[in-house]
Amino acid sequence: MVKSGLFEGYDTGSFYDEMFSAPGQPRPHYAKLFQKLAAMAPGQFEERRRLADLSFLIQGITFTVYSDGRGTERLFPFDLIPRILPQSEWERIDRGLSQRVVALNLFLQDVYGKQSIFKDRQIPRWLVYSCPNFRREVIGVEVSRGIYTHICGIDLVRDSKSGDFYVLEDNVRTPSGISYVLENRLVMTRTLPDAFQACEVLPVNHYPAELARILRSLSPRGEDGAQIVLLTPGIHNSAYFEHSFLAQQMGIQLVEGRDLIVDGGIVYTKTIRGLKRVDVIYRRVDDEFLDPLTFRADSILGVPGLMGAYRAGNVALANAVGNGVADDKAIYSFVPTFIRYYLGEEPILKTVPTYLCANPGDLSYVLEHLAELVVKAVGESGGYGMLMGPAADRAKIEEFRERIRANPRNYIAQHVVPLSRVPSYDPSTGSVAGRHVDLRPYCLYDGEKVTIVPGGLTRVALQHDSMVVNSSQGGGSKDTWVLRGEG
Amino acid sequence: MLSRIAESLFWLARYIERAEDTARILDVNYHMMLEQSQQSYRLRWEPLVIMAGEEKLFHEFYSEANAENVFEFLAFRQDNPSSIVQCISKARENARTIRDRISREMWEDINGLYYTVTRFRPEDEIAAGPHRFCDLVKFGAHRFHGVTDATMPHDEGWEFLRVGWSIERAEMSARLVDVQYYNLLDALPSVGAPDNHQWMAVLRSVGAYEAYHRQYHSAIEPEKVAEMLILHPRHPRSIRFSTSEVQAGLRAISGSPAGSYANEAERLAGRVVERLRYDRVDEIFKQGLHGYLNDLLRMCGAIGDDIARTYFYYAVVA
C-alpha cells in the first residue's frame, strides 16, 4: 500500500467512492492524482486552497442567497480535489445525454405543434396540460430552426448500490452553473498545475464559442450583422456573475429588460446613438417574467411586447418559451417513453423509479412511506420545495403530508438514491472525508447534433451525511476531469 | 453602446472621484488641525461636512462637529450616502452591472478596493487617525485610474468615465474654494490675520501645494490660491482644467469639431470653458467669489442633467 498523507485514515464508508475501490486503493483513473496529493503536506494543501478561495473572491465569482430577505453575496465553495471520469465511461454518458436532449426537443415540438403523442396515447394530455410551466400562449408558434432545448443541464447521480449513473432531473429552462465549470478549471490549473499536468484532461473552454455559434444561427435576418444579447434579470439575480461572464466570453451585449424596447413587433436595444435591432436573445429570465403583456403583469424584468415579436418570428429566444413542461418532475418519468416513441431507441441512461402523486395508487403509497422517500414539487428547482424523508423531522413530514393532500398533482416521490462520494477537504478539521456528489453536464443542441463539454459541474454536499448538493442549500463544487483514455 | 452602460461608467467614475476627494480633504484638514489651537474648533470641522453636502444629515447623528465624528461620518457611515465607504460600494455596484464591458483588471481592482475598505474597523481607524485609511483610498483611486488607462480601450466608454470623474472633480474644487473662503472671511476679524495654514491645507488637499510655490514664488495668498484652483490651465484639479476635460470627453463621444456643439451639454461645457479661459481672478473677486462659484456649480449640475437627457434616458415612445 502507498503512503497516503492527506488521505491517512480516509473512510470510504458504505457508499460508492469515486476515488477509491477499497481503503487505500485508488481506482486506476485516480492513481496519478492520488500520488500527487498524497505526497503533499497538509499545510501545503491548505495554502493552495486559500489561494483558490482568494482568487474566486477577487474575481467576484459569487452568488446571492436570499435566506435573510435582502440577499447576501457568497462564495460558491470550491473543493480542490477533482472528480475524475475515465473516457469510456464519459462517452457512454455523452451518448445517453444526446439521446435524451433530442427526445426532449421532439417532445416540445410535438406538444406545442401537432400533438401526435396524445393521439397515440403515450402520455395523458391532462398530465401535460396541468404542468405549472406549460404555456398555452406558445402553441402553434414556430420557433427558429425547430429548436427548443438549445441549452440543457441534466443532473446525473451515481447510485452507490449498482455503481450506475441515473438521470435525476432535467433542466431545460434556464440552467445555470456552466461559468463555474469554466472558472473552476481555470483556478484548478493555476492552483494545482502539477497534478493537472500529470493527468491528460479533456478541455472544456470551447463552450462559449459553441453556444455563440448556435445563437448566431438562430437569427431571423441571417447571421451577418445579427445582434445577439443576453437578457439578465440584473445584478440581484443569484446567477448574475454567470450572465456577465458568458456575455463577455461570447462577446455579446448583456442587457436588462429596461435596455430593450419593442416597437412595431421589432425588439431594439436603447443605445447612446438611438435604437438598434435585436435578432437573438439568450434569455436568463424565466418565462413568466419575460413580457408583462403576456405573462405576469407585475414583472419589471421583462419587455412589454416581446412575445409579440417572438410569435411574429422577428426575434429568436433561447431557450424557447414553454420548455418547463419538459423538465416537470412528473413528466420526467415519461422521458424513456419519449425516447422509444420519437427515436425508436432504448434509453441509454437509467431513470429513477418515480411515484406520481397525481395517480391515486401512487399517492396512498407515498403518504404511507413519507419517512423513506424524497418528495419534490414538480415545477421547482434548486433544491426548493423538497422533502428528504429520512433526514426530516416529524413536523416537516406532516407539513408535506398536508401539502401533498392539498395538491397531489404538484408532487412526485422517489426512493432515496444513495449518491456516490468523492474525497473532499474539510477546512475545519484539516482532513479529507467522503462527500456526496452529483454531476450536471451542459448540453448544447444546434438542431442536428448535441455538443457536451466533457464533464460538467460536479456539485458536492459539503455537510457531513448531507445528500443535498444545491448551492442555495450549502453545496459546493469541484472541477470535473474527463481523462483522455482510461488514466 | 447601451445607454445604461454609459450611465454606469459615468457614475462609476464619479463615485471613485468623490471617494478620493473626500479622503484628501479629510486627511489634510485633520493633520492641519492637529497643529492648530482649539479656539475656533467648530468653525474648522463644520466646513468639511458642508463640502460633502451632507450637513443636514450630519446633525441628525451628531450634536457637534469634531475630529472623531466628522471622520466617522465622512469615511465610514453606511447611512451617509456620500461617505467614502458608500462611494466605493456604489462604484463597485456600478462596475458589477457592467463588468462584461470593463476590463477584468478594472473589475478585480475595484472589487479588491471594496473588500479592503469594508474590512477596516471604524473604531480602530478613528483611534489611529485618518491618514492610513485616507492614503489607501487615495492610492486606490489612483490605481483605478492607472489600471483603467492601461487596460481599457480609449473608446467612447472610456470617454464617459473621463467626463464622469472630471465633472465631479470640477464640482469638488468649486465647493472646496467656496466653503473655505467664506469660512475664513468670517473668521478674519476675530483672528486678526489671514490664516495661512487653512489655505495651505486647501492646496494640499488638491495636491497643489508644491505647484503653487513653483508658480508664484510667494507667500500663500487667498486670491492666488483661488486663481490656482479655479483658473489654472494645466493643474489637473483646477476647475478650468477639469471642465476642459469634460468638454473634450463630450466632443470625443459625439465627434463634434472644435468651435461647435452637438447637444446642450456640449454647449454649456463650451461656455464654462471659454469663460474660465478669459476671466481674471481680480474680476472674479470684484463680482463676488461666492456668486461666481455658485454659478459654476449650477452650470456643472446642468451639464450633468443634459448628459443624462442626451445619452442615458429614453422617453417612452408611444
Residue A238 CA to residue A3 CA, distance in Å, equals 43
Supply the pLDDT for residue B318.
Answer: 40
Retrieve residue A388's grid coordinates. 428528504
- In terms of DSSP bridges, do strands A450-452 and A457-461 run parallel, antiparallel, or are they unpaired? unpaired
The string of DSSP letters for A275-286 reads: EEE--EEEE-S-
pLDDT value at A449 more than 90: yes
Of B2, B104, B253, the CB nearest to A271: B2
Give the residue on A whose Cα is nearest the Cα of B93. A235
pLDDT-derived band at A486, boundaries 50, 70, 90: confident
Supply the pLDDT for residue A60.
Answer: 79
Supply the pLDDT for residue B115.
Answer: 92
Supply the pLDDT for residue B36.
Answer: 64
Mean pLDDT of B298-311: 96
Of B2, B107, B253, the CB nearest to A270: B2
Supply the pLDDT for residue B191.
Answer: 45
**Contact indicator for A141, A1 with CB cutoff of 8 Å:** no
pLDDT value at B44 more than 80: no
Alpha carbon B42 to chain centroid, angstroms:
23
Q: What is the pLDDT of residues A380-396, one digit of tens each?
A: 776 778 899 988 999 99
Q: Residues of chain B with pLDDT > 90: what percent?
A: 62
Mean pLDDT of B25-49: 71
Give the residue on A whose Cα is nearest the Cα of B101. A248
Residue B201 CA to residue B36 CA, distance in Å, equals 12
Q: What is the pLDDT of residues B206-252, one digit of tens each?
A: 888 888 888 888 888 888 889 999 999 999 999 999 999 999 999 99
Q: What is the pLDDT of residues A451-476, one digit of tens each?
A: 999 999 999 998 887 877 777 677 89
pLDDT value at A1 more than 60: no
Least confident piece of the model among A9-23, A36-50, A51-65, A130-144: A51-65
The SS3 call for residue A85 is strand
Distance in angstroms between the alpha carbons of the first and the last residue of chain B: 23
The SS3 call for residue B152 is coil
Distance from CA of A227 to the nearest CA of B (A): 12
Ordered by where they begin, the domains of chain A are 353-415 (3.30.1490.270)
Q: What is the pLDDT of residues A355-369, one digit of tens each?
A: 999 999 999 999 999
Nearest-10 Cα torsion for A462, A466, A468, A472: -50
Residue A342 CA to residue B241 CA, distance in Å, equals 71
**Contact indicator for B286, B235 with CB cutoff of 8 Å:** no
Contacts of A333 (CB under 8 A, 6+ apart): A351, A353, A354, A356, A412
Retrieve residue B229's grid coordinates. 484652483
Supply the pLDDT for residue B29.
Answer: 78
pLDDT value at A73 more than 80: no
Least confident piece of the model among A150-164, B137-151, B179-193: B179-193
Least confident piece of the model among A90-104, B141-155, B211-225: B211-225
Query: Which chain A positions have a beta carbon within 8 Å of B108's beta carbon?
Result: 58-60
Residue A15 CA to residue A21 CA, distance in Å, equals 11
The verdict on a CB contact (< 8 Å) between B1 and A59 is: no
Phi, psi dihedrals of residue A481, rounded to the nearest 5°: -110, 120
pLDDT value at A304 more than 80: yes
Residue A222 CA to residue A101 CA, distance in Å, equals 26
Q: Say if A254 is an interface residue toward chain B (CB within 8 Å).
A: yes
**Contact indicator for A478, A460 with CB cutoff of 8 Å:** yes
- Global pTM reads 0.87
- Give the residues across from A421 on adjacent strands: A17, A436
Residue A337, amino acid: T
pLDDT-derived band at B189, boundaries 50, 70, 90: very low
Of B100, B104, B111, the CB nearest to A247: B100
The verdict on a CB contact (< 8 Å) between B97 and A235 is: yes
Contacts of B27 (CB under 8 A, 6+ apart): B130, B131, B134, B135, B138, B205
Residue A191, amino acid: T
Query: Which chain A positions have a beta carbon within 8 Å of B99's beta carbon?
Result: 60, 244, 248
Give the residue on A whose Cα is nearest the Cα of B310. A272
**Whose grid coordinates read 433526514?**
A391
Of B2, B112, B314, the CB nearest to A253: B2
Mean pLDDT of B73-89: 94
Supply the pLDDT for residue B190.
Answer: 46
Distance from CA of A260 to the nearest CA of B (A): 10
The more confidently predicted of residues B170 and B203 is B170
Supply the pLDDT for residue B216.
Answer: 86
Retrieve residue A418's grid coordinates. 444513495
Least confident piece of the model among A240-254, B32-46, B230-244: B32-46
Query: Which chain B positions have a beta carbon within 8 Å of A261's beta carbon?
Result: 314, 317
**Whose grid coordinates read 474597523?**
B121
The verdict on a CB contact (< 8 Å) between A271 and B4 is: no
pLDDT-derived band at B113, boundaries 50, 70, 90: very high
**Contact indicator for A79, A426 with CB cutoff of 8 Å:** no
Phi, psi dihedrals of residue A451, rounded to the nearest 5°: -110, 125
**Environment class of B234 (CB within 10 Å of its CB; exposed 0-12, middle 13-18, buried 19+):** exposed
Contacts of A313 (CB under 8 A, 6+ apart): A142, A144, A220
The SS3 call for residue A424 is strand
The string of DSSP letters for A188-224 reads: HHHHSHHHHHHS-B---TTHHHHHHHHHHHT-TT-ST
pLDDT value at B78 more than 80: yes
Residue B226 CA to residue B58 CA, distance in Å, equals 28
Peptide bond into A410 cis (omega under 30): no
Retrieve residue A87's grid coordinates. 473516457
Q: What is the pLDDT of residues A161-186, one digit of tens each?
A: 999 999 999 999 999 999 999 999 99
Q: What is the pLDDT of residues B265-293, one digit of tens each?
A: 999 999 999 999 999 999 999 999 999 99
